[in-house]
């Protein structure tokens, strides 16, 4: 894997960083323990997820580092409508005029990204899982409490290839939210999984392939059933919404998530 490149001065945990070519044609920007991905196709590119308001500057820096121009961004695909994925989407619409895509079931959530269904209150998790405090602090510094919802969106289909750079295929993966979608890059055997399966749960601070805790998941039983859909992709690499890339194959990732289960 290409070495990561800091996108801001200092070495504070959760500071923004870039991993160029995490798989061919895909660049990863991590900020505050949350990932977004740049899918490049020549000069044109697609962005998957919009992290936090303060991720905008690091994104512009990252695009420059990998030879992409903001004016060539063709669209933003939101895997789901939570605040830590909607981030700067409204700013991108206003400044660049790019379309933002989200599944119909998450359209209202994207407009109101703090009004989401969850199984448990998130406020007890820092006490139960003190390791989560680093992630919580990083998210707050990145603007987690100041995300503007986005209403001017286009709806993703439930499946099929998108006419966007990178040619991602929509994989409907409900559970974390009811309109959650992953994106499959079939020619690279890579799944951009959003929060359907992650390798770091920011609510627990625990690494490993897993579904996210009920503090932010609408229906954990549904999320666990959705692992069958993820397994069927046959992906060799998983690029999650939170945590490091998983390169040990989808079978091992799903087995890990099932073993960890709901929380």
Quick: pLDDT tens for 13-27. 889 999 999 999 999
The arithmetic mean of pLDDT across residues 177-201, rounded, is 98
43 vs 8, residue with greater confidence: 43
Strand residues in 84-224 grouped as ranges (E): 100-103, 154-156, 159-161, 169-172, 181-185, 190-194, 198-201, 206-210
Measure CA 88 to chain center: 13
DSSP state at residue 2? P
**Residues composing the chain:** 263
Reported as a pLDDT band with limits 50, 70 and 90, residue 11 is: low
Cα separation, 43 vs 60, in Å, equals: 15
Whether the per-residue pLDDT at 197 is higher than 90: the answer is yes
Which of 88, 86, 85 has the alpha carbon at shortest distance from 58?
88
Q: Is the pLDDT of residue 1 over 70?
A: no
pLDDT tens column, 69-120: 999 999 999 999 999 999 999 999 999 999 999 999 999 999 999 999 999 9
pLDDT score for 194: 98
Tally DSSP H helices, then E strands, for the chain: 8, 15
Helix (H) or strand (E) holding 104: none
- What angle is formed at CA 123 by the lines to CA 137 and CA 245, rounded to 5 degrees? 50
60: confidence class by pLDDT, cuts 50, 70, 90: very high
The fold for domain 5-113+124-154+168-260 equals Metallo-beta-lactamase; Chain A (3.60.15)
**Joined tokens for residue 205:** 């601070």
**pLDDT higher than 70, residue 209:** yes
Cα angle value 83/89/40 (rounded, 5°): 115
pLDDT-based confidence at residue 255 (cuts at 50, 70, 90): very high
Calculate what percentage of the chain has a pLDDT beyond 90: 96
Residue 203's φ and ψ, nearest 5 degrees, are -80, -15
Q: For residue range 217-231, list pLDDT tens digits in order.
A: 999 999 999 999 999
**Given a cut of 80, is residue 163 above it in pLDDT?**
yes
Task: Work out the average pLDDT over 165-189.
Answer: 98
CB neighbours of 257 closer than 8 A, spacing ≥ 6?
A: 197, 209, 210, 211, 224, 227
Quote the tokens at residue 230: 């993820």
Q: Are 152 and 160 in contact (CB under 8 A)?
A: no
Examine the pLDDT at 10 and tell me if it is beyond 80. Answer: no
| Per-residue pLDDT, 9 | 77
60, 144, 181, 255 from 56: Cα distances, Å: 6, 13, 23, 35
């Amino acid at each position: 894997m290409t070495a990561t490149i800091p996108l801001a001065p200092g070495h504070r945990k959760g500071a923004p960083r870039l991993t160029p070519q995490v798989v061919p044609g895909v660049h990863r920007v991590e900020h505050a323990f949350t990932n977004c991905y740049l899918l490049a196709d020549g000069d044109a590119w697609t962005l998957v997820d919009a992290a936090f308001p303060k991720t905008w500057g690091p994104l512009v820096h990252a695009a420059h580092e990998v030879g992409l121009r903001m004016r060539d961004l063709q669209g933003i695909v939101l895997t789901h409508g939570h605040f830590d994925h909607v981030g700067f989407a409204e700013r991108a619409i206003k400044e660049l005029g790019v379309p933002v895509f989200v599944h119909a079931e998450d359209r209202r959530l994207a407009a109101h990204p703090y009004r989401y269904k969850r199984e448990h209150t998130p406020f007890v998790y820092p006490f139960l899982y003190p390791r989560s405090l680093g992630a919580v602090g990083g998210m707050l510094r990145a603007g987690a409490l100041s995300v503007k919802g986005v209403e001017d969106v286009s709806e993703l289909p439930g499946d099929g290839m998108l006419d966007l750079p990178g040619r991602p295929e929509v994989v409907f993966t409900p559970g974390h939210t009811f309109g959650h979608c992953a994106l499959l890059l079939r020619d690279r055997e890579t799944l951009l999984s959003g929060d359907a399966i992650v390798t770091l749960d920011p609510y627990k601070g625990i690494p490993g392939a897993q579904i996210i805790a009920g503090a932010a998941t609408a229906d954990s039983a549904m999320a666990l059933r959705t692992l069958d859909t993820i397994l069927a992709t046959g992906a060799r690499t998983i690029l999650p919404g939170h945590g490091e890339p998983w390169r040990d194959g989808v079978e091992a990732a799903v087995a890990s998530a099932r073993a960890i289960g709901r929380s």
